[in-house]
Amino acid sequence: MRNILAFPILALALVFQMAVLTRLSLLSGAADLVLLVVAAWSLQERVDTAWQWSLLAGVFVGVASGLPVLVPVLGYLATTGIARLVLKRVWESPILAMFIVVFFGTMICLILTLVWASLAGGNYPAQEAFSLIILPSVLLNIVLAIPVFLLVRDLATWMYPAEEIV
């Protein structure tokens, strides 16, 4: 059930991202709602399906995008890895943890994309990529981090209810 629910939620996030968020760009950067969902989900303490969700999210984005599947898969898995690492260290401040994960996760995903795009022979000057895409995207993701975190936390609370103390 918990893994099955990943399909509609991630698909919905991807559709919303492709239809709406990509049009609300800052310079050439855009928010990555799928990454935000993956990051927020991975930061929920009781969630034990974070890796499956990030793998599925990577496959979804890889299929819908012109990127090879491996690039988003690696990016989202790395984001989940950072989230799990951060969860053990700053667990008392989940919002701060979300900011940290979103910042580094976005950077890793976009730098991976930049590396692939440059290797594929495209016209991607690194300086322009940072100033026009990576930094604005990081900023947009950080702006959206809190609302997404709160929504995903409610979802996680619903799916993983706290055990009753007898």
Chain residues in the site for other proteins (CB under 8 A): 14-15, 17-19, 22-23, 25, 27-30, 32, 34, 61, 64-67, 72, 110, 113-114, 117, 120-125, 128-129, 132-133, 137
Provide, rounded to whole angstroms, the least separation between the CB of residue 12 and other proteins. 13
Provide, rounded to whole angstroms, the least separation between the CB of residue 138 and other proteins. 11
Three-class SS of residue 121? coil
- Residue type (1 letter), 127: Q
Provide, rounded to whole angstroms, the least separation between the CB of residue 135 and other proteins. 11
Report CA-CA distances (Å) from 50 to 3, 64, 77: 9, 21, 9
- Residue type (1 letter), 158: W
- 45 or 128, CB closer to other proteins? 128
The residue written with tokens 């968020």 in the block is 21
**64 φ/ψ angles, rounded to the nearest 5 degrees:** -75, -25
Provide, rounded to whole angstroms, the least separation between the CB of residue 146 and other proteins. 21
- 7 or 91, CB closer to other proteins? 7
- 8 or 66, CB closer to other proteins? 66
Provide, rounded to whole angstroms, the least separation between the CB of residue 116 and other proteins. 9
- 110 or 148, CB closer to other proteins? 110
Cα atoms in the 13 Å half-sphere on the side-chain side of 86:
24
- 72 or 94, CB closer to other proteins? 72
The residue written with tokens 């016209």 in the block is 123
Which structure tokens are listed for 101?
A: 């994960």
Q: Nearest 5°: CA angle at 20, between 133 and 122? A: 35
